[in-house]
Every structure is written in structure tokens, then in C-alpha cells.
Amino acid sequence: MQKRYPYYLANKPMQPNADLEVRDKFSGRIATRVALPDDKAIEKAIAAAVKAEKPMREFKPYQRQAVLNHCVKRMTERSDELAKALCVEAGKPIHDAKGEVTRLIDTFRIAAELAPQIGGEVINLEISERAKGYRGFTKRMPLGAVSLITPFNFPLNLVAHKVAPAIAAGCPFVLKPSEKTPVGALIIGEVLAETDLPKGAFSVLPVTGDKAAPFVEDERLKLLSFTGGQIGWDLKAKAGRKKVVLELGGNAACIVDEDQTDRLDFVVDRLIFGAFYQSGQSCIGVQRILVHESIYDQLKRKFVAKTRKLKAGDPKKKDTFLGPMITEDAAERLHGWINEAKEHGAKVLCGGKRDGSMLDATVLENVPHDAKVSCEEAFGPVALLEPFSDFDKAIDRVNDSDYGLQAGVFTNDLTRTMRAWDRLEQGGVVIGDIPSFRVDNMPYGGIKRSGLGREGIKYAMEDMSELRLMVIRDA
């Protein structure tokens, strides 16, 4: 990593200071320093984005596509650098970091493919005698300057899911990446600065949370796209008239039906990945596992045995599966929830110990449904096992949650598959796999406390554009 990184203001690198320390999340040592924008820089960035609305609207789709293709090329060339930076600043095991870089590139590639496809439709308006001779036409126009706020857990791909559709849709943007993991976003800013984007089209400002109010409240911004915690609802209340898109996490559940005996090893492997990859710091990480009683003991035995074998430690080592949580405070919070569940009757099948920001991969059973580790978003390496005897009651158990992002169902029964899709109160239902499955062109988002709207390039582009209607009457 470089010793210092600038922030980007109206397409230009700025290095007025090096006040933001970025730490290696495993060692705790300072890895690099980043320029920290002040209030004046934030104001200049928003003003520049507003001024860039017209130039970006006139920036043709093929030009936007060229920018996005440049990003694909340069990010591919810098993939090792991006992965190493991600490994250090987020504590993400290097294997997973490389996987996220692949997704980053995929996301920009999808946006490049869709950029020239923004179109409209012809509408037949002759639905009655009074509309005879009328025709309707629609097209999509860029919404204008948008505000993008991203979290620490996927600091490359979640940035990509906001930045790439903004460019494809023709919207200038101000981006606030997490101050815990700003380097990846700043490298993306460096790549964007190499392109022909109009002046003011982008700013990347890693401000701290107490300085972020203008990103939310400024009335000149036409949309707020926020990924993070439940504070998102408070931001929505302060956002005024702008459009708001929220992705706010969940406590994802996975049902394992009785017909999965023949592929139980596969199911367990997928559950292990979903529960513990990235130390469980995923909005769709597997938190609650409901297993049919006829195979519960068998699955529990296999699941616990494989959990105990997970390699924890330095994320820079190739064989490390479980790295640190983002901060010691985060690990301490979840460790407290585990102990609270134990005090109320939960049984620890493995794990349950903490050393600084390293928290063991932990498996619990007999967890009270009102325990925080069950009913809230754990956002860490813990999984809860629970048997069920009736499939419909298992669906009810999944739905007994304030969250609704994604759920997984392992079943071979078509009737139960359709019933799960009909009845599960989730933004997405994944059949034959874990709720953690996501590819970057699919619609993604939740209901209940999990948020509003959908990500996925096509859907984000629609959010970042407005529909214009033209009606023509025949002469």
C-alpha cells in the first residue's frame, strides 16, 4: 500500500493532510494514512456534482460505456493491488479478497454492457374512443446528482454497486466510503480520474460519520443510496424529498429439509461458508439454521466438526479462512451477545471465545428466540442450529423476524419450493443453496427492517433515472 492516499474532489486528487489513519485490522498497526476532507471540501464536491448534471446528461451512452470499460481494464491490471489493500484494511482473508475483486470487475462490466441500453417504450394509448389517435412514448433521463454511502464489509463491490450504475445512468455522484476501509474506494477514484468524465462528475470523500450530514440532508442531491446498519432509517427521515434506497442487513435463515440426506456434506460445506466467510460480516451471512429433526443430529455433528477445523488467523496467509472482525468493539459486542444467550439456556457446541478482534467461529443451539444473537443481526462468526418437524412451521420461524433480506431453502420438493417462495417474507429466496448467494446482475434488497429498493445494476440504474413521457396526437 502507498504511504498516503488523497481523496478525490471534482475528479481531482487532493492531499491537504494525512489525518485519517487506516489500520491493518489483524495487527492493529497503522497501514497507511488518507486525506480527510473538511466541511468546505464536502460543499465544493456537492456543488461540483450539481454543476456536472448537464454535462453528464449530455455525456453519451457510448462515452459512459468507454469509461466503465476503462475501469474494467485498469481494475483487472491492478487486481493484486486491490486484493492486498482489501486484505489489510478490512481484515478479509486473501482468498476472499481476490474473490471480491473479481466481483468488482464483474459489476463494472455489467454496467458497461447496460449503459447503451437505456431506452424507453411505445405505449398504445387507444384504450377507448376518447384516446383515438393518441400515442405514448417514454424514455429514461438521468436523475441528477446522487449521494452514495457504503459500509466497511465489502468496500470494493458495494462501492461498485453504487458507482457503476451512477455512471451508466449519467448521474454525477458524491461517494462517502467507510472511514474504516477507504483505500479501495480511493483506488477506484484514481482509476476514474484517468477517464474523460466531465469535471465534477465524481468525488470520493472518506469523511467520518459525524461529518456526513450533507450527504443525507442537502436538498440539491436527488437520491441517497445507503448500505449499512439500522441508522439508515434515521437518515431516511432526514433526507427530505430525495429518493432513498436502503440496504440495511438481516439475520438470514436457512431451512434444511428432510430429503437432503444424500448430499448432506455439500449442504454442510455451503452452510459453513455462509456462516463464517468474512468472519460472518455479511448482510446475508447464514445466522439461523433450521434443520428437519430426522437429520438434525447428523447435520449438527458434521457442521460442528468442520467448524472446529476452520483455520483462523492472519488474513494475509493463503490458508486462513477466518480473519478478524472489523474492530475489537465489534467482536466484544457479539461475544457479549453469545454470553447473554448462554446465560439464558443456549448451549455452545464449539467456539465462543474471543481474543481482541478475533472471535471464534461459534455454533449455538437451544438459543431463546428473543436473544439478541437470534433476533438481531449478529454480523459476525456465529451460527444457530434449531430442529423443526413441520416445513410450514419452519417457514413461520424464518418469518418471525424483523428482517427480510434473503433466505435459503435446501429441498428437492417442488411443492415446498413454491410454498417457500410464496410465503417467506424476504426480498429473495434461494432454493438449493444458502441465502448468502448473490451474483451482481440479480435484484438484491430486502423488506421489513432490511431496507427499501433494490440493488443490481439494472435496478439501480432505474432508481437513478426518471421516466419521461411524451404523448402525440395524430394530426
317 and 391 both lie in a single domain: yes
In SS3 terms, the chain reads as: CCCEECEEECCEEECCCCCEEEECCCCCCEEEEECCCCHHHHHHHHHHHHHCHHHHHHCCHHHHHHHHHHHHHHHHHCHHHHHHHHHHHHCCCHHHHHHHHHHHHHHHHHHHHHHHHCCCEEEECCCCHHHCCEEEEEEEEECCCEEEECCCCCCCHHHHHHHHHHHHHCCCEEEECCCCCCHHHHHHHHHHCCCCCCCCCEEECCCCHHHCHHHHHCCCCCEEEEECCCHHHHHHHHCCCCEEEEECCCCCEEEECHHHHHHHHHHHHHHHHHHHHHHHCCCCCCCEEEEECCCHHHHHHHHHHHHHCCCECCCCCCCCCECCCCCHHHHHHHHHHHHHHHHCCCEEEECCCEECCEECCEEEECCCCCCHHHHCCCCCCEEEEEEECCHHHHHHHHHCCCEECEEEEECCCHHHHHHHHHHCCCCEEEECCCCCCCCCCCCECCEECCEECCECHHHHHHHCEEEEEEEEECC
pLDDT of residue 1: 87
Tens-of-pLDDT digits for all 475 residues of the chain? 899 999 999 999 999 999 999 999 999 999 999 999 999 999 999 999 999 999 999 999 999 999 999 999 999 999 999 999 999 999 999 999 999 999 999 999 999 999 999 889 999 999 999 999 999 999 999 999 999 999 999 999 999 999 999 999 999 999 999 999 999 999 999 999 999 999 999 999 999 999 999 999 999 999 999 999 999 999 999 999 999 999 999 999 999 999 999 999 999 999 999 999 999 999 999 999 999 999 999 999 999 999 999 999 999 999 999 999 999 999 999 999 999 999 999 999 999 999 999 999 999 999 999 999 999 999 999 999 999 999 999 999 999 999 999 999 999 999 999 999 999 999 999 999 999 999 999 999 999 999 999 999 999 999 999 999 999 999 8
183 and 47 both lie in a single domain: yes
Q: Which domain holds residue 178?
A: 4-248+450-473
pTM of the model: 0.96
Q: Is residue 206 part of a domain?
A: yes
State how many domains the chain has.
2
Q: Is residue 441 part of a domain?
A: no
Q: What is the CATH number of the domain that holds 352?
A: 3.40.309.10
Pairwise CA distance, residues 266 & 237, whole Å: 44
Q: Is residue 105 part of a domain?
A: yes
In SS3 terms, 304-370 reads as: HHHHHCCCECCCCCCCCCECCCCCHHHHHHHHHHHHHHHHCCCEEEECCCEECCEECCEEEECCCCC
Q: Is residue 438 part of a domain?
A: no
Can 340 be counted among the known catalytic residues? Answer: no
362 and 423 both lie in a single domain: yes
pLDDT of residue 30: 97
40 and 146 both lie in a single domain: yes
207 and 310 both lie in a single domain: no
395 and 465 both lie in a single domain: no
pLDDT of residue 119: 86
240 and 257 both lie in a single domain: no
Q: Is residue 444 part of a domain?
A: no
261 and 128 both lie in a single domain: no
276 and 308 both lie in a single domain: yes
pLDDT of residue 276: 98
pLDDT of residue 38: 97
Q: Is residue 440 part of a domain?
A: no
For residue 265, which phi and psi values (nearest 5 degrees)?
-65, -40
173 and 257 both lie in a single domain: no
Q: Is residue 322 part of a domain?
A: yes
Distance of CA 93 to the CA centre of its chain: 18
CA dihedral 292, 298, 303, 308 (to 10 degrees): 150
- Which candidate in 53, 89, 100, 247 is catalytic? 247
Q: Is residue 381 part of a domain?
A: yes
pLDDT of residue 475: 81
Q: What is the CATH number of the domain that holds 231?
A: 3.40.605.10
192 and 274 both lie in a single domain: no
300 and 232 both lie in a single domain: no
